[in-house]
Amino acid sequence: MSSRRLLLTRPIDQSREFAAVIDRRFPGRFDIRCAPLLRIEPSDVPIELDGIGALAFTSANGVMQFVRRARERSLPAYCVGKITAEAARNAGFRAYSADGNVSALGHMIAARHDPQRGDVLHVRGTNAAGNLAGDLAAHGIACRAAEIYTQVPCPLETEILAALVSGEAHVVALFSPRTAEQFDREVAHASIPVEGLCAVCLSPPVASALVLQPPGKIVVSGTPSREGMIEALARL
């Protein structure tokens, strides 16, 4: 049985890490190509922790950028999902996963965080889904934002576009609504047929952001986690 070509669209470091996991789990099943749709660029925004009682992370990128610049690890880390929480635990945080979206994260923080301990610092990029500060304000919790990186869209490389045009790319893994939207734009701009392409999506919001024309097969992970994506790939 020949390998199925799998495109990984996360930023390059995370795509390479996930590729190594897939290779170990499914030796020879996938011909993996890294096709990042976003590039992470650190910003020079200072990280102010005075008066902060907890951290909120809505992506693993936020965790990675924070730990490169700050030594703080004692504050609780409230995370939108399991992938982000795993990154926070690996960095030394006591991390909690909302296993959902920004709204679910807000509910979890409201249930766990005592406002008397300080404000919540939302460590994020310049583009972020939802309104965590507004959700927490409704519960009497102050939330500040630290936009410590920028997500820069990346055009797909010529080799990747050629594989999509020829039908040699069989599966694309999408981990966020923004990358799904970016993938749609790339496909539309290059007028790429996608009848035989399968999109494996981290969550229903990711799948909802994807408007493949004409529509290909869409598989949604059972849980918004790395294991969920691995299980979804195993079902193909």
41 and 100 in contact (C-beta within 8 Å)?
A: no
36 and 9 in contact (C-beta within 8 Å)?
A: yes
**Can you say whether residue 178 is alpha, beta or left, with left for phi > 0 and alpha for psi between -120 and 50 degrees?**
alpha
Nearest to 146, CA basis, from 64, 77, 45, 53:
45
Please give the average per-residue pLDDT across 84-93, as a whole number: 94
Structure tokens at 183: 């993938």
159 and 221 in contact (C-beta within 8 Å)?
A: no
Q: Is the dihedral of CA 114, 118, 124, 129 positive or negative?
A: positive
Q: Give the pLDDT band of residue 214 (cuts 50, 70, 90).
A: low
Q: What is the pLDDT, as a whole number, of residue 215?
A: 66
Q: Which residue has the tokens 């609780």?
A: 76
pTM of the model: 0.82
81 and 205 in contact (C-beta within 8 Å)?
A: no
Instruction: Report the distance separating Cα 54 and Cα 143, nearest Å.
Output: 10
For 22-55, write each residue's pLDDT tens digit: 999 999 999 999 999 999 999 999 999 999 999 9
For 91-140, write each residue's pLDDT tens digit: 999 999 998 788 999 999 999 999 999 999 999 999 877 899 999 999 99
199 and 212 in contact (C-beta within 8 Å)?
A: yes
Q: What is the pLDDT, as a whole number, of residue 162?
A: 92
Q: What is the pLDDT, as a whole number, of residue 128?
A: 78
